[in-house]
């Protein structure tokens, strides 16, 4: 698990489409990840880094300001 090796880890069982599995295994074969699990954790980390509740709500409030007072 590299980056996460000293962290307490959770275990979840997921189902995902064959198409995604095929893409994931290509990345593993090409050396991007040691295991499919490592690829799933990296995908989750990247998604969560860009979708925090705080960030989403900050963007919405900025959008409200534009919606009310913008000039375009």
Partner 1 sequence: MAATEIVAVLDAGPLIHLDELGRLNLLNDFKELLVPQTVLDEALKHRPKLPLAELSNLEIISEPPPLSANLLKLADELALHAGERAALAVLDARGGQFLLSDDAAARTVARVVGFQTHGTIGLVLRASRRGKISKVEMLQLLRELPMRTTLHLRKELLDSILATAAENI
Residue from 1, 3, 20, 64 binding partner 1 (CB under 8 A): 64
Residue 63 contacts partner 1 per CB under 8 A: yes
Q: Give CA angle at 63 (58, 67), nearest 5°.
A: 155
Report, in Å, the least distance between residue 60 CB and partner 1. 6
Encode burial over 1-21: b for 16+ CB neighbours within 10 A, e otherwise: eeeeeeeeeeeeeeeeeeeee
Q: How far is the CB of 48 from partner 1 (least distance, A)?
A: 9
Please report, as residue ranges, which positions from 10 to 29 form the binding site for partner 1 (by CB under 8 A).
none
| Candidate segments 4-12, 16-24, 33-41, 56-64, binder of partner 1 by CB under 8 A | 56-64
């Amino acid at each position: 698990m590299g980056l996460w090796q000293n962290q307490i880890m959770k275990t979840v069982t997921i189902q995902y489409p064959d198409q995604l599995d095929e893409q994931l295994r290509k990345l593993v074969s090409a050396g991007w990840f040691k295991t499919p699990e490592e690829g799933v954790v990296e995908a989750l980390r990247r998604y969560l880094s860009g979708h925090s509740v705080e960030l989403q709500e900050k963007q919405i409030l900025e959008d409200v300001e534009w919606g009310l007072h913008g000039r375009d």
